[in-house]
Structure 1
């Protein structure tokens, strides 16, 4: 029997480990992780446009040690041991991280702009405050009070049925794509500071004040990275879908 793990001096075979994973309902995610890594490693081996400078990896290792107070050689060795790795493996994992990020860019760079346009409705956000009441007549009366100069926040605290009345009706950023069509249509033609409504939503009536428009842009590096990650995961899923996989445990 080939030993996969040793626990309290007792060997656990690969076959037994697989059975444990099956019993726990975690075999599929485990295999999924293996297939994911297999596709990535194979892609890195076959592509010739992924070249990472050794100096970049070395500097990243140095930065990691400084940030985690591991500049002392002995402390670093103890950290490596406690984390079940050694210097070569750690160095390789750092280099792999850089290669993976470069692969993501290469795989997605021609698709990001189009994907951004497809998703823009859901990526654009609007900061809203609201007052939700049960009756249209009350909503119209409150709207008149707002137009005459009454304080929106105070009216929200006094009349709104929504939980956010305790924070002056502030909803925070809301994706345009998740708004009901009737609300989005009103918001899209409104100006910052304007109150729209009353609008009937799920049997109640709402007044919505536009606090700020937050249009999405690919100049937002965090957003761009998020879209690249989504596209990369789609690409990976397509690659994995085409694999022929057989589980063989003897």
Structure 2
């Protein structure tokens, strides 16, 4: 009798068994997506080729974070959860190993100079503005409110009274921090080329006519948070390039054959 585990995915000599796939599915369906599984096995292959191993402390931190997020605060709770999901502690750790390895590979292969060059090329993506808005259903009303603000009426008071955007009207139209991608191209160009205190519009967006008050502008700076985001983006490009060099067999689609 053949007791060999059924293979769901094979990349070079690395495999993901059907049991492991089902374990992922029981925890979170997104973990069982074939694209996620392919990325995880690719990372395992890549780390091995680079001679990198998962840092034990980082792996333990990831497991501990998961336990806290799922209320598994005691050994008994964790043990029962593992039993319910048909898993051992090592099975759980293996889920987080690719993420830990991913961070190690990114640090190893993505240089600070690459991060800086990417930022200089794409800094506008990280610009932020603080705005307030008034949304109306008719252009004429928006134009009238524009004139009233220009004549000295309080923008925020008018937003509370006239704006049809329920989410922002109560706060005087305050929409908070936004990026270019949050606005239409026309609105983004106007807002990010304006100065603090500028009144702009009306702009048509999603069948509404919008007035925008620019409360503050925050040109992008290469903060630690942005550097981490950029490093991960560059890593993803490199991962996709590396993945194309591998022998990938998606056995999961053939498990029901025969």
- How far apart in 2 are the matches of 1:170 and 1:181? 20
Q: Secondary structure at the match of 1:237?
A: helix
Alignment of 1:210-225 (within 5 A): 210-221=214-225, 223-225=226-228
Question: Hey, what does 2:15 align to over in structure 1?
Answer: none
Q: Does 1:197 align with 2:166?
A: no
Q: CA deviation at 1:183?
A: 2.6
Alignment of 1:89-168 (within 5 A): 97-109=99-111, 110-133=113-136, 134-136=138-140, 138-163=141-166, 164-168=168-172
C-alpha contact (below 8 Å) 1:195/1:207 kept by paired residues:
yes
Q: Secondary structure at the match of 1:243?
A: coil
Q: Secondary structure at the match of 2:217?
A: strand
Larger Rg: 1
Q: Secondary structure at the match of 2:248?
A: coil
Alignment of 1:71-86 (within 5 A): 81=83, 84-86=87-89
Q: Does 1:228 align with 2:248?
A: no
- How far apart in 1 are the matches of 2:122 and 2:215? 23
RMSD across aligned C-alpha pairs, in angstroms?
A: 4.2
- Distance change >3 Å, CA 46–CA 186, structure 1 → 2: closer
Q: CA deviation at 1:127?
A: 2.0
- Distance change >3 Å, CA 238–CA 146, structure 1 → 2: same
- How far apart in 2 are the matches of 1:245 and 1:40? 13
C-alpha contact (below 8 Å) 1:124/1:215 kept by paired residues:
yes
Q: CA deviation at 1:31?
A: 4.6
Q: CA deviation at 1:219?
A: 1.4
- How far apart in 2 are the matches of 1:79 and 1:116? 43
- Distance change >3 Å, CA 157–CA 92, structure 1 → 2: closer
In structure 2, stretches of 5+ residues that fail to align are: 9-17, 23-28
Q: CA deviation at 1:208?
A: 0.8
- Superposed CA deviations along residues 167-224 of structure 1, whole A, max 9, x for unmatched, are 4222332222453343334323433233223445577643210122233333142x33
Q: CA deviation at 1:103?
A: 1.0
Q: Does 1:242 align with 2:234?
A: no
Q: CA deviation at 1:62?
A: 10
- How far apart in 1 are the matches of 2:110 and 2:63? 30
- How far apart in 1 are the matches of 2:3 and 2:207? 64
- Superposed CA deviations along residues 215-245 of structure 1, whole A, max 9, x for unmatched, are 3333142x33333333222222222233333
- How far apart in 2 are the matches of 1:66 and 1:37? 21
- How far apart in 2 are the matches of 1:207 and 1:58? 49
Q: CA deviation at 1:45?
A: 1.6
- How far apart in 2 are the matches of 1:65 and 1:145? 54
Give the TM-score taking structure 1 as reference length: 0.66
Q: Which has the higher contact order (CA 8 A, sep 6+)?
A: 2
Q: CA deviation at 1:41?
A: 1.7
In structure 1, stretches of 5+ residues that fail to align are: 6-12
